[in-house]
């Protein structure tokens, strides 16, 4: 091989590795941004909480919004009674993937 062929081959190798490196580092999270895996897991946790609330025998949680971040679930919105507020927090806390629950539900007047 000539020196020119080696240079061209090296250039092609470096340029073809660039998208792989960018793709791998683009998925990493840091202190301020979630990784793709963490976002997916948070979405799954929110869905599991939503399903658990829907399966509760005294379901009246249709006005509840659910947000999850790193295992912390935040419940917000409105329920009819303080018992429903308490029960929603209890149900959410028992869901797989939930570390803590911030129950910010308000009782309708």
In this prediction, residue 32 carries a pLDDT of 58
pTM: 0.67
Query: Nearest CA to 35 among 25, 45, 44?
Result: 25
CATH number for position 36: 3.30.1340.30
* Beta strands 72-79 and 64-69, pairing class: antiparallel
Mean pLDDT of 45-63: 86
In this prediction, residue 7 carries a pLDDT of 74
- Asked whether residue 86 is assigned to any structural domain, the reply reads yes
pLDDT tier at 10, thresholds 50, 70, 90: confident
pLDDT tier at 9, thresholds 50, 70, 90: confident
Looking at the structure of the chain, the number of domains it has is: 1
- Asked whether residue 10 is assigned to any structural domain, the reply reads no
The two three-digit tokens of residue 102, written as one number: 């911030």
Strands laid side by side in the 72-79 sheet: 64-69, 72-79, 100-107
Parent domain of 86: 31-107
Please say if the pLDDT value at position 67 is more than 90.
yes
């Amino acid at each position: 091989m000539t020196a020119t062929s080696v240079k061209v081959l090296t250039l092609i190798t470096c340029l073809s590795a660039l998208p792989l490196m960018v793709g791998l580092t683009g998925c990493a999270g840091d202190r301020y941004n979630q990784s793709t895996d963490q976002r997916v897991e948070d979405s799954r946790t929110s869905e599991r909480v939503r399903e658990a609330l829907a399966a509760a025998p005294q379901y009246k949680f249709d006005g509840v919004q659910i947000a999850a971040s790193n295992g912390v679930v935040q419940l917000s919105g409105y329920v009819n009674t303080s018992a429903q507020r308490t029960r929603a927090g209890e149900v959410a806390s028992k869901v797989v993937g939930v570390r803590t629950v911030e129950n910010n539900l308000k009782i309708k007047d």
